[in-house]
Amino acid sequence: MEDSNLPLLRDSRSNSVQSKSAAFDEEQSLLNRVWNESKQLWHIVGPTIFSLLSSYTMFVIAQASAGHLGDLELAAMSLASNVIVGFDFGLLLGMASALETLCGQAFGAKNYPMLGIYLQRSWVILFCCCVLILPVYIFATPILKAFGQSAEVAELAGIVALWFIPLHFSFAFQFPLQRFLQSQLHNSVIGWVNFVALIVHLFLSWLVVFKLNLGLAAISLTLSFSWWVVVLGLLGYTMSGACAHSWTGFSFEAFSGLWPFFRLCVSSGVMLCLETWYYQVLVVIAGQVASSASAFDALSVCMTINGWENMIPIGFLIALGVRVANELGEGNGGKAKFATIVAVFQSVVLGLIFWVLIIFFHNKIALLFTTSKLVLKDVSKLSVLLAFTILLNSVQPILSGVAIGSGWQSYVAYINLGCYYLLGVPLGVLMGWVFKQGIMGIWAGMVFGGTAMQTLILAIVVIRCDWDKEALKICGQFERMHQLRQSHC
């Protein structure tokens, strides 16, 4: 993509694109438009949420299986999966989201052969990144020791990380395949393949732990194998002829134009990593000021609840990224804007439902995780912050989805850096340490300083965006690309 990815603000508009938006406005009643848009959104949102929950559940099963072997094994598995794999997962998932922009816009522009080219370029770039990140897995033990982990846990976690290397390389292929298929609305197959992989993982985990007693290495390999089941399933579907227009076979064209593609991948990765790592930073900082073990356990419980609920707005993020990219690629700026309004409204409604549930059941929500009275009491105190965090997160990821669909990743990455790490983190430290408000102060400062400010700025950008000019710009890019490919042919 070109560097001109900053959102275009309103002034003069193209008559041709404006006419599409006007026709769309007059085409149907408001109720019908909302209903039709909701169907298109949930066609992506539903399978996406299910896939995210399936992937998350596989990691939970692996940790639970390790827990049956002993506390040391559980600690090692949790450390390797949450720290080593967590860092890797967030980075590569973010980089793969560049395909939401490119494949979504190419599909909307009916430039179908480019989808397969983009997929292959993504494989090349993410595989090379996997090779560069490989030393983190190989030297996991000294890295974890350097961060203060005990020698015994770090040694065992390092062994687990070595057996996670196949899992690590599966990310380079699975994430692009998912984005490639989502951009073409082949969403149900992603859900079904993840469901099959989850069943396989359940069976293999039961087999290696309870029947064969093969130990921690086997549990790690089981998780890696289950993720490759997803890769092979999606790859088989792609090459079976189901994507005949977009997958025309391997092409050397995948090795051209890698540098601009790489820049968009990096922008996407940085943008999403700055978001996903923000609450991990919160946990790390809070651990330094926690007045008791129960207070830190309470924060961990709240973050787990927040993580589970966050699957819903992440599903909307991916769905809206696809919807916006498809409509802009087709030249429908009005439909892209309307999709954004519908997605934000529905996500906020769901966020409000969870907000009410947490406020009303503030003293009981932790019973899912513990019966400790001290932890239950501390979770109850933190529940108001949890409720408002969930409410803010019902808007913020949706706006990030608009950014992905429109190709604004580098622009939003700067916003995230400024709001989260130059404003939110210092404000959280100030309230937690200087004003001695502890965990609640840190969390409040980071949420109402960083997250709220980032949401406000993104909302202003989206509201002021000239959607018709965005559509015209993207249509022009694909027209030039098509002419270039024709001239080479």
Res 281 pLDDT > 50? yes
Query: What mean pLDDT comes out for the span 285-295?
Result: 67
Render the burial of 127-154: b for 16+ CB within 10 Å, e for the rest: eebbeebeebbeebbebbbeeebeeebb
- 194-213 confidence digits (pLDDT tens): 999 999 999 998 998 888 87
Res 14 pLDDT > 50? no
Question: What percent helix, strand, coil does the chain show, rounded to 5?
Answer: 85, 0, 15
Is the Cα torsion angle 102, 103, 107, 110 positive or negative in sign?
positive
pLDDT of residue 222: 92
Q: What is the mean pLDDT of the chain?
A: 83
Instruction: Residue 408: count other Cβ atoms within 10 Å of its Cβ.
Output: 24
Cα separation, 336 vs 331, whole angstroms: 9
Q: How far is C-alpha 78 from the chain's CA centre? A: 20
Q: What single-letter amino acid sits at 291?
A: S
Q: How far is C-alpha 87 from the chain's CA centre? A: 13
pLDDT of residue 4: 47
Please, which residues bridge with residue 465 across strands?
9
CB 163 within 8 A of CB 221: yes
* Residue carrying structure tokens 């699957």: 311
pLDDT of residue 242: 87
3-class DSSP state of 369: coil
Residue 9, phi then psi, degrees to nearest 5 = -95, 165
Q: Which two tokens stand for residue 2?
A: 């070109």
Res 28 pLDDT > 70? no
Q: How far apart are the first and last CA of the chain?
A: 21
- 82-140 confidence digits (pLDDT tens): 777 877 887 888 888 888 888 888 888 888 888 999 999 999 999 999 999 999 999 98
DSSP 38: H
- 395-423 confidence digits (pLDDT tens): 888 888 888 877 788 888 888 889 998 99
Residue 260, H or E segment: helix 258-276
What's the Rg (C-alpha) of the chain? 23
- 269-278 confidence digits (pLDDT tens): 888 788 877 8
3-class DSSP state of 9: strand
pLDDT category of residue 237 using cuts at 50, 70 and 90: very high
Half-sphere exposure of 163 (CA within 13 A, CB side): 19
- 452-473 confidence digits (pLDDT tens): 999 999 999 888 888 888 888 7
